[in-house]
Copies of this chain bind each other. A is one copy, B any other.
Amino acid sequence: MEIGTLTAGGSAGTRLGAHQPHLLPLADRVLEDTTPATLAGHDVVFLALPHGKSAELAAQLGDDTVVIDCGADHRLADPAAWERWYGGTHAGSWPYGLPELPGARDALRGAKRVAVPGCYPTAVSLAMAPAFAAGIVEPEVVVTAVTGTSGAGKSLKPHLLGAEVMGSLSAYGVGGVHRHTPEMVQNLSAAAGAAVSVSFTPVLAPLPRGILATCTARTQTSAAEAVEVYAKAYADEPFVHLLPEGSWPATASTLGANTVHLQVTVDPDAGRLVVVAAIDNLTKGTAGGAIQCMNLALGLSETSGLPIAGVAP
């Protein structure tokens, strides 16, 4: 693979190194405008645009170009859900870029268009899909997912300043209003074959990157049976790792890696299955997942170029 044109919005015309000095090999490349002309002639194009902007651009790139959309435009299959959560007209859904979901991988092989999932839905869907596919939980999921602040991107808001973030934990988007919620509902309902509700609370914590999702649902299964279900579901997955008994996920173990670390148990007093999943929101949660999808779309080895050892401590 060769990295082609790099484009930007407001930063077009500047060096990549001015924004991402860690990307030393590309630091002197100048960012171009994001237009059909600058994107033309590439085999694969990755988009990360504000919602509502991908469809038109993709249409102009032609059907021979593989377009991997890291934005939200084509993730939801239901036009009504799209319109409720994002407003405007639904531009249609593309194959959903989470190969580890039941049935998802086949649709991604050779695909010309891929909708990469949001970071929270990646963690939560992989955490709960096996339980729903196996029919061992009731269809009401409660999720609290704690995240580092890179999930908010580089938007300049006072509450994202270092001095505000460090030494503090805060909730946001509480009460089912986060736009990643319908993606979780869609994925888990598909796994369950029936409507699933998701109560989702995101929490902002003082670290640069990482998501730790704690997910629970009522169950009558034992812990041992639950572990069995998950071990089987992910036995052949290169990036999803059920931890050894007694070990619980830590996001640092996934830093820079395209992996999901999982553990599962049952709380018999509360009658609930509890699954904890850790990912790096910038790797498996976005950019790494996008590469994985590209590999499938191009018929390459799915794991090419994707680390599974994290950078820790």
Residues in A lying within 8 Å of B, measured CB to CB: 15, 17-26, 140, 142, 144, 146, 148-150, 152, 154, 156-158, 160-172, 174-176, 181, 197-201, 203, 205-212, 214, 216, 223, 241, 243-244, 247-257, 259, 261, 263, 265-272, 274, 276, 278, 308-313
Contacts and interface: CB of A to CB of B under 8 A. Distances in A.
A196 B140 CA distance: 18
A163 B313 contact: yes
Given A162-B165, A197-B270, A199-B272, 10 more contacts: A15-B244, A21-B243, A23-B310, A156-B157, A161-B162, A162-B164, A162-B166, A167-B207, A169-B205, A200-B270
**Copies of the protein in its oligomer:** 4
B267 A175 contact: yes
Interface centre among A203, A255, A309 (most CB of B within 10 A): A203
Contacts of A163: 148-150, 152, 154, 160, 208-209, 313
A210 B248 CA distance: 22
A267 B142 CA distance: 11
B24 A313 contact: no
A265 B160 CA distance: 23
Contacts of A162: 149, 160-162, 164-166, 206, 208
B205 A313 contact: no
A166 B266 CA distance: 29
Which of A167, A203, A267 neighbours the largest number of chain B CB atoms within 10 Å of its CB? Answer: A167
Contacts of A157: 156
A96 B243 CA distance: 39
**Which of A150, A165, A253, A255 is the most central at the interface, judged by chain B CB atoms within 10 Å of its CB?**
A165
Nearest to A173: B248
B278 A313 contact: no
